[in-house]
Amino acid sequence: MAYTNQPGWARRSGFRLCPLAVLVTPENQAPEQSHQRPAETCLLPGRRRVRDDQQQLPGLGRRKDLSRCSRVWLIWAIPGRKDMDNRNWEQPPHAKDEPDFSNLLAVLNRQVPKRPTLFELSLNDDLYKKVARGAAANEADDPLHTAEVICANRNLGYDYVAVGIPGFHFPSGERECEQTYSLNDGFVIPDRKSFDAYQWPDVGSAHYEHLDEVAAILPKGMKMLVEGPFGVLENVILLVGFQNLCLMIMDDEQLACDIFEAVGSRLVEYYSTAVGHEGVGGIICNDDWGFKTQTMLRPKDLRRFVFPWHRDMVAAAHAVGKPAILHSCGNRQQVFDDITDDMNYDGVHSYEDAIQPVENAYEQYASRTAIIGGIDVDFIVRNSPEEVYARSKAMLEQTADKGGYALGSGNSIPWYIPDANYFAMVQAALDAR
């Protein structure tokens, strides 16, 4: 079979993938590797949905009758994959070069960095311990595990450490939480009376001296990126509940506005105070705005209640010559112009293949903002280290000439991502240095 319609990341990585077969599964279900495809293959989605005799199957040059709610998967052979199997992917990568925050600054200025640059919002605790190799201080001396995180980031080749400031958050009620929780649980402000009675946190009481403590142990060349205790919309949902908030915007718009102001103004003060520290290189404003198919609130409501506070947070960073990164999960396509042209974020993080693959996002938006991370978490979980390495390498090659890209996952590295798969992504950047 001809090498046609190669996945973009495979073409750019130099792999020549041969389409072997097509599988059709119910929507949102992937074939099991052990039963339905050989181990030395790569499984990639074809068209998202296929209606009877109306869609071309990619790479096959013919039509096929399929159920309206089916999903098409192409199985691609990977020539040369055995050549990569000699790598010990379980071994944590170790960067040979020293941290240099100017590389991340170049990315955020949409320039080409001196060498491939890594970005990750966070790793899981066990992974930090594994990569730090026991070099961190004990629990009593370092209850926040800051030294451990710094050591891990240094070993892996990151140029920064993300830091939250203790002593500032918006208290809410208890939630029933195992691995997930409801956005409607734990609310404490359902009405005006509870709003007036709520004990709003004093931003000035946050432990900003923590920045001095972190700066004292940073490796030369590394900077801090200050992140918040969740974002504007996230904190309002914590306090009000998602369903309650949707109703409140319709039934008591002024109360909703007052709650957003109480949260947003405090977050602006928090970032404005922290970003002036000499050891801080920039800020990460973390605020999830969407689901897979749309924003959580109507775009016009986001523009009224949420975005003005983000504009002020970015302005506070820019006022002292430092960049601002937005981390926001969900479908942002209806508001991306607001992110780049109104709020003026320097970089945008969090991408998902089911919404828009990072390769496509880079081509569409890289002229307007830096594209940060984006190797889909589901892709990293489901595929082999070789396939993760290949896609990561291809993404670095796609962005090498134009810059404005830092390699990382589409979100973060939770416990269920195999260590070897995460290490493969990082190794792709280190091999290119």
Separation of alpha carbons 409 and 90, rounded Å: 18
Separation of alpha carbons 415 and 433, rounded Å: 28
Using the predicted structure, report yes or no on whether residue 127 has a pLDDT greater than 70.
yes
Which residues are paired to 22 by β-bridges?
Answer: 74
Q: Position 86: which residue type?
A: N
Residues 222, 154: contact at Cβ < 8 Å? yes
* Predicted confidence band of residue 416 (pLDDT cuts 50, 70, 90): very high
Residues 68, 13: contact at Cβ < 8 Å? no
Q: Please state the separation of Cα 88 from the chain's center in Å.
A: 26
Q: Position 147: which residue type?
A: A
Find the helix packing angle between 242-251 and 253-275, rounded to 10°.
120
Structure tokens belonging to residue 345: 């974020």
For 28-34, the CB contacts below 8 A with 24+ separation are 28/71, 29/71, 30/73, 30/382, 31/73
* Predicted confidence band of residue 217 (pLDDT cuts 50, 70, 90): very high
Structure tokens belonging to residue 389: 């390495």
Q: What are phi and psi of 187, to 5 degrees?
A: -70, 150
Separation of alpha carbons 4 and 16, rounded Å: 10
Q: If you average pLDDT over residues 193-207, what whole number do you get? A: 97
Q: Where exactly are the structural domains of the chain?
A: 8-83, 102-431
Q: Residues 320-372: pLDDT tens digits?
A: 999 999 999 999 999 999 999 999 999 999 999 999 999 999 999 999 999 99
Q: Residues 249-291: pLDDT tens digits?
A: 999 999 999 999 999 999 999 999 999 999 999 999 999 999 9
Separation of alpha carbons 316 and 323, rounded Å: 10
Residue 281: what pLDDT? 98
Beta strands at 70-77 and 18-26: parallel, antiparallel or unpaired? antiparallel
Using the predicted structure, report yes or no on whether residue 16 has a pLDDT greater than 50.
no
CATH no. for 102-431:
3.20.20.210
Q: If you average pLDDT over residues 403-408, what whole number do you get? A: 98
Task: Supply the pTM of this predicted model.
Answer: 0.82
Using the predicted structure, report yes or no on whether residue 27 has a pLDDT greater than 60.
no
